[in-house]
Amino acid sequence: MTSPISRRGIDVQAVRAHFPALARTHAGRPLVYLDGPAGTQLPTECIEAMVRYIETSNANHGGAFVTSIETDALLDEAHAAAADFLGAHEPQEIAFGANMTTITLAVSRALGRDLNAGDEIVLSRLDHDANVAPWLAMAEERGVRVRWLEVRAEDCTLDLDALESLIGERTRLVALGLASNAVGTLNDVGRVIEMAHAYGAHVFVDAVHAAPHVPIDVSSLRADYLVCSTYKFYAPHLGVLYGRRDLLERLRFFRVRPAGSALPGKLETGTPPFELLAGLLGTFAYLTALGRAYGDHPGGDRWSELHAAMAAIRAHEHGLTGPLLEGLASVPGLRVNGIIEPARFDERVPTVAFRIEGLQPRRIAEHLAGLGINVWDGDMYAIELIRSLGLDDVGGVVRVGLMHYNTLEEVDRLVEALRDLTQARG
């Protein structure tokens, strides 16, 4: 693999050479992928790993023959690599599922079996609905009281000072996102975990939107449960659950009898998508190469290389955030929802939501799409947040998401297109 970064920082053109989709054009110009928050593009290492598995080792696991033995090894290695990516103590603390939403629904049902009327859970208005609706359904079924952590509208951050009044002796669980998928806010989850643990409550962390942008270490974070989706960080469509082993062993999951009670099998219902797990390992190979080229751990262990890669990604994206927000500020009538001060960029990831006065978000997205610039519009499934901002009946927001394969030139194209749109409107 050609080294995609140098010790001076990511060489974005070398990185882009690993992503075949980035060569696509629209109307004679390169397509600009600013839609990463809904799913990133895949590196060649991932694509080739999937094809190689399908061509040579495609089989179910647990058999006595060679391709099944190879599939067993693939399954074990995927758990081990995901454990390294998240900083888990052991591979048995990792389980795979279809996506984060499906996993969260399963965990909420399992946790709900041990909750009773009068127990309390705390939810956040900032979260994706996948970390809200499953807990609301469980609470309604079990008679559990829901308490809400509110959002400060001025910068789309959580009012963590109010948490002291929400957590108490009856609190059993706090469900919270590490980063907002809609507006990019990074939450101080460590502070929440410390407060929850003081009352014996557990914390379920949605790290879907943080995983592509920041290093995650569940051990130092002291998370009880943490979920993410691999298709948000350059891999195929899979969900990943981390859970402390003692908690997972106690949970009573709904499962078929052959699954048994051992970890992680009791959490992973049905036959796994082995070809997707092969692709995930290909993505981890890409990321470890990124870490070896940039970090201080040449030839080191996989955990160090993966975390060095994510630190390099964080630094590159940080360098794009300033120009993006400066450019958006120059567009007449445009208002960003979220943190905009450069001194506070460490409190956000490079996902930016905005509106332009007098223009529907879908109209803006369609204009950009016609110019070959991919962005999203709507509520981003952050239903509680968009409602709290009063934007649920007016089309939500436009969302732009930067990844480590994006460039300053692409940021400039976006800003120019938005300026042209506002000028054409008169």
Same domain, 237 and 382: no
User: Does 295 reside within a domain?
Assistant: no
Q: Which of 229, 253, 283 is the last residue of a domain?
A: 283
Question: In CATH, what number is assigned to the domain containing residue 364?
Answer: 3.90.1150.10
Same domain, 337 and 215: no
- Closest by alpha carbon to 291, among 2, 4, 22? 4
User: Does 289 reside within a domain?
Assistant: no
Same domain, 207 and 353: no
User: Does 288 reside within a domain?
Assistant: no
What's the total number of domains in the chain? 2
User: Does 117 reside within a domain?
Assistant: yes
Cβ within 8 Å of residue 410, ≥6 positions away? 32, 34, 373
Question: CA–CA separation, 283 vs 404, rounded Å?
Answer: 14
Residue 226, domain extent: 48-283
For residue 401 the two structure tokens come to 């998401």
Same domain, 10 and 103: no
- For residue 166, which amino acid is it? L
Say what the pTM is.
0.95
Same domain, 53 and 25: no
User: Does 119 reside within a domain?
Assistant: yes
Same domain, 31 and 70: no
User: Does 30 reside within a domain?
Assistant: yes
pLDDT per residue, tens digit, the chain (426 aa), is 344 444 458 999 999 999 999 999 998 999 999 999 999 999 999 999 999 999 999 999 999 999 999 999 999 999 999 999 999 999 999 999 999 999 999 999 999 999 999 999 999 999 999 999 999 999 999 999 999 999 999 999 999 999 999 999 999 999 999 999 999 999 999 999 999 999 999 999 999 999 999 999 999 999 999 999 999 999 999 999 999 999 999 988 887 776 667 788 788 888 999 999 999 999 999 999 999 987 655 567 999 999 999 999 999 999 999 999 999 999 999 999 999 999 999 999 999 999 999 999 999 999 999 999 999 999 999 999 999 999 999 999 999 999 999 999 999 999 999 999 999 876
User: Does 291 reside within a domain?
Assistant: no
User: Does 290 reside within a domain?
Assistant: no
Question: CA–CA separation, 233 vs 313, rounded Å?
Answer: 11
Question: CA–CA separation, 418 vs 257, rounded Å?
Answer: 56
Same domain, 149 and 242: yes
- Closest by alpha carbon to 17, among 37, 1, 33, 40? 1
Same domain, 199 and 219: yes
